[in-house]
Amino acid sequence: MAKKRIFNVEKGNVMQVGKISFAIIVMLLVFSSCRKKTEAEGSKGALAINVTYSVDGQSLEFDRMQYVNSAGNVYSVTRLQYYISHVALFNKKKGWILIDTFFLFDARRYPTQKIIMGNLPLLTYDSLRFYIGLPPSLNHHDSLPNTLENQEMIWPEMMGGGFHFLKLEGKFKEADTSSTISGYAMHLGTNVALVTVKLPVNIDLTGRLVAEVNMDMNVNEWFRNPYVYNLAEKPYIMGDTLRMQKIASNGQDVFTIVGVN
Amino acid sequence: MGRMFLLSLVLINLLLISCKKDKQVYTYSPTPYQLEIPEGFPQMPTNPNNPLTKEGVELGKRLYYDVILSEGGPQAGNSCATCHVQSRSFADNSPGVSVLPHVNLGWGTKHWLWNGSKQGTLEDIMMFEVEDFFQVDVSRLMQDTTYQRMFYKAFGKKEITSKEVAYALAQFVRTLISGNSKYDKYKRGEIDLTPSEKRGMAIFFSERGDCFHCHVPPLFTDFDMHNIGLDSMPADPEDWGLFAVTGDSADLGKFRTPTLRNVALTGPYMHDGRFQTLDEVIDFYSEGVKNSPTLDPIMNHNGGIHLNLTPQEKEDLKAFLLTLTDEEFLNNPAYRP
């Protein structure tokens, strides 16, 4: 009896040990699975964007009167500076994931400029969205670091304050046959001229930590769609809300994705 | 014998004392120099290879005012201060000569000199001044015991080169900060401007005058190169500006934007000093700008290249420009020899 009991006890113990072992294994598997899931969710990746410039397929070359826009103006570019901010990526399950930051671009100084944004969930994304300019929360004088570069982009208080979103400047002739060369300055600023850009893109961050997107700005798009802008109509638009909004609308498709690595 | 021994001891002692006097011992323990950056100014770029020290600034100031820099060279008899006079905001007071004022140069990171022929840091441009402009004979400095001591205290070196001379000058020039004018006091809410000054400020910071794009506050320069339309087709190479440096036709007539800090005192104006007064400068922007293929696009105000200011607007703009005079800077004893 005692033996049996012992046996039973032993058997029971064996069974108990078996149950406990099974439970531990299950729990370990669950924990392990949880840990893996937590690691996957906790790990963060980075997105690098390389920005280049062109004019309808030609690489942008500064100071050269060799480009023709949709209005038939022959023009050059002498300055191209702008902010990109509020970059966001779209994941089908998570929705828009915002990378709350801003970058100042100077195409003359940096014909190719790379920006890197980290802390991104390792997911797949199918859209990229950002502002050309600064959102209202950043568009006031004390919102950006006090650097020489940001100072040069300031939009005077008496014209509404904040920063220039875009400075696109150069020289133009109304038509190829024109003899008069004038200057133009497409300056965007104030909240009414904020440009939203949304681009379809396949970014897969599930198998790697860094994805690289190559993006090109076609300068001619600033003058093309939906408004064909003739620079002779008004070559200087700072403070002209109506015309700034036209150029801002055109700005929605100045960028295209030319590659994802 | 005893007397002779004592006498010998005394003589040896005297000799030793005399030797000690000849062999001076300098210490190298530089004291960091803290710049006072005016409110609203960007942080000044620093050069990690040339940190500011009291000893370096003091040495730089002595060199700045000393004609020893030019002895034996093409600028013999001149020091930096000959052409950069404090009471003129460290610009020139010689008739017909126009130099860029040495004010707030510590923020300069782009082009140097009127035609932008030099690039780099403040140390780089000071190196040009030492080696090319003054052609400093460093051996003359090392024959001077005061300089020997000051260079050692500033840089810890007994043997100096052009580099240490340039670095000391750069340190002093970095301290030449003007940021306490009437305009600055107004921005800080300490005082008010007159109605005329305010109207002038409105012209300056709006499309009416459109001065702010190049004369970017608070430094009132963008340190960049622009063709403002002084000549349509300049024949004299002195008027070619950056073109004379790069050979690129797109650079014809481009000159560096001067700061407008203390502008009332920095005349004559433009690279060649062609305008004697601020009135002449304002008249030029109002009615005298000449078109050319390289005229800066920003000069194309609302379809025209002339501001066409009224006499009242001209007066107001001038009144605003006069608020940029910083008496504290012009009379700061720390900048005097």
- For chain A, the structural domain boundaries read 1-42, 44-260
A127-131, B5-9, B11-15: which has the highest mean pLDDT? A127-131
Q: Is B216's pLDDT higher than 70?
A: yes
Contact B297 A183 (CB under 8 A): yes
Contact B297 A185 (CB under 8 A): yes
HSE value, Cβ hemisphere, 13 Å, CA-based, for B214:
19
pLDDT digits (tens, 9 = 90+) for B128-184: 999 999 999 999 999 999 999 999 999 999 899 999 999 999 999 999 999 999 999
Question: In chain A, whose CA is at the least distance from the CA of B298?
Answer: A185
The CATH number fitting domain B45-177, selected from 1.10.760.10, 3.40.50.300, 3.40.50.2020, 3.20.20.210: 1.10.760.10
**Residue A204: Cβ within 10 Å count:** 14
What is the residue type of A32? S
Tell me which of B269 and A39 has the higher pLDDT. B269
Q: Which residues of A touch B302 (CB under 8 A)?
A: 234, 236
Q: Rounded to whole angstroms, how far apart are CA atoms B301 and B295?
A: 12
Q: Is A39's pLDDT higher than 50?
A: no
Contact A156 B222 (CB under 8 A): no
How is chain B split into domains, by residue range? 45-177, 182-329
What is the residue type of B296? D
Contact B42 A184 (CB under 8 A): no
The pairs formed by B146-153 with CB atoms below 8 angstroms and a separation of 24 or more are: B147/B59, B147/B62, B148/B26, B149/B24, B149/B26, B150/B55, B150/B58, B150/B59, B150/B62, B151/B59, B152/B26, B152/B28, B153/B26, B153/B27, B153/B28, B153/B30, B153/B55, B153/B59
Distance of CA B117 to the CA centre of its chain: 16
Q: Closest to B42 (Cβ–Cβ): which among A63, A146, A181?
A: A146
Q: Is B280's pLDDT higher than 90?
A: yes
pLDDT, averaged across chain B: 92
Q: Which ipTM value was assigned to this complex?
A: 0.87
pLDDT for position B46: 86
Q: Is A254's pLDDT higher than 60?
A: yes
pLDDT for position B243: 96
Q: Rounded to whole angstroms, how far apart are CA atoms A245 and A114?
A: 28
Burial of B230 (0-12, 13-18, 19+ CB in 10 A): buried
pLDDT digits (tens, 9 = 90+) for B218-264: 999 999 999 999 999 888 999 999 999 999 999 999 999 999 999 99
B54-64 vs B162-174: helix axis angle to the nearest 10? 100
Burial of B249 (0-12, 13-18, 19+ CB in 10 A): exposed
Distance of CA A136 to the CA centre of its chain: 17
* Residue position matching structure tokens 């809410």: B189
Q: Rounded to whole angstroms, how far apart are CA atoms A186 and B139?
A: 56
Q: How far is A62 from chain B (nearest CA, A)?
A: 9
For chain B, what is the radius of gyration of the CA atoms? Answer: 25
Helix (H, G, I), strand (E, B) or coil at A40: helix
- Number of A:B CB contacts under 8 A? 71
pLDDT for position A15: 41
Q: Which fold has domain B182-329?
A: Cytochrome Bc1 Complex; Chain D, domain 2 (1.10.760)
Query: Would you state the structure tokens that stand for residue A118, as one six-digit string?
Result: 């980290």
The stretches of chain A forming alpha helices (DSSP H) are 2-42, 148-152, 241-250
pLDDT, averaged across chain A: 87
Q: Rounded to whole angstroms, how far apart are CA atoms B45 and B108?
A: 8
Helix (H, G, I), strand (E, B) or coil at B316: helix
pLDDT for position A21: 52
The residue among A137, A169, A136 whose CA lies nearest residue A152 is A169
Q: Rounded to whole angstroms, how far apart are CA atoms A47 and A49?
A: 7
Contact B248 A63 (CB under 8 A): yes
Query: Would you state the structure tokens that stand for residue B307, as one six-digit string?
Result: 């501001």
Judged by average pLDDT, the poorest of A120-134, A156-170, B12-26, B208-222 is: B12-26
Query: Would you state the structure tokens that stand for residue A114, as one six-digit string?
Result: 């790379």
pLDDT for position A43: 76
The stretches of chain B forming alpha helices (DSSP H) are 2-22, 54-64, 80-83, 122-128, 138-142, 145-155, 162-174, 182-187, 195-204, 243-246, 278-283, 311-322, 327-330
- List residues of chain A with CB under 8 Å from any CB of chain B: 62-64, 78-79, 146-148, 151-152, 154, 156-159, 169-171, 181-185, 234-236, 238-239
Tell me which of B186 and B1 has the higher pLDDT. B186
Q: How far is B262 from chain A (nearest CA, A)?
A: 20
For chain A, what is the radius of gyration of the CA atoms? Answer: 28
pLDDT for position B11: 61
B45-177 and B182-329 have identical folds: yes
Q: Is B41's pLDDT higher than 70?
A: yes
Q: Rounded to whole angstroms, how far apart are CA atoms A229 and B225?
A: 28
Query: Would you state the structure tokens that stand for residue B305, as one six-digit string?
Result: 């290249």
Question: In chain B, whose CA is at the least distance from the CA of A160?
Answer: B206
pLDDT for position A199: 98
Does residue B259 contact residue B221 with C-beta atoms inside 8 Å?
yes
* Residues B74, B76, B81, B82, Cα dihedral to 10°: -90
Whether omega before A226 lies within 30 degrees of 0, making that bond cis, reads yes
> What letter would DSSP give residue B301?
B
Helix (H, G, I), strand (E, B) or coil at B121: coil
